[in-house]
Amino acid sequence: MFTKPRRTKMQEVNSSSMSDIAFLLLVFFLVTTTISLDKGISLILPAEGNEMEVNKNNIVNVRINDQGNVLFGDQPTAIKDIKRRAIDKINGNQNIIFSVLTTKRTKYKFYIQVLDQLKQAGASKISIANPNY
């Protein structure tokens, strides 16, 4: 004859301390994880509202287009030659300001390369112009 199988009562897993364990694991991983801090470009920005008249002879426009071609003043210049030309300008005039202008589609790579060249030349006054076109 057929007998019904006996139903055994299943034991429950005690989950009352599950939230405590999850919280402790969360705190452990937050404390032991190291956070890498990316370093950006170190530029000293002027205080807001500081506007002064600048002699036009003290400004050198550095324009970068979409393809990474650079106009240093009014002359086309390779990015690797910017440092040499900037040093010449700085030696001729200690108050020189380099105004970097880009287009909206200029690749960030070219922009950073130009800034690096100016920094390596010892340029302390760099103006970052807002692209209008």
What are 26-37's pLDDT values in tens digits? 999 988 988 777
Q: Between vectors from CA 53 to CA 49 and to CA 57, what angle results, nearest 5°? A: 140
The tokens for 113 are 């390369």
Dist. CA 89–CA 68, nearest whole Å:
22
- Across-strand partners of 114? none
pLDDT score for 37: 75
pLDDT score for 43: 66
pLDDT score for 117: 92
Q: Exposed/middle/buried for 127, CB within 10 Å: 0-12, 13-18, 19+?
A: middle
pLDDT score for 1: 59
| Amino acid symbol at 83 | K
pLDDT score for 10: 74
Which pLDDT tens digit goes with each residue over 76-132?
A: 999 999 999 999 999 988 889 999 999 888 898 999 999 999 999 988 888 888 776
| Interval 15-43 mean pLDDT | 83
Q: Between vectors from CA 119 to CA 57 and to CA 77, what angle results, nearest 5°? A: 65
φ and ψ at residue 19, rounded to 5 degrees: -65, -35
CATH number attached to the domain at 58-128: 3.30.420.270
pLDDT score for 128: 83
| Amino acid symbol at 84 | R
pLDDT-derived band at 9 (thresholds 50, 70, 90) equals confident
pLDDT score for 54: 78
pLDDT score for 47: 72
- Whole-prediction pTM: 0.63
**Chain-centre distance of CA 48, in angstroms?**
21
Domains of the chain by residue range = 58-128
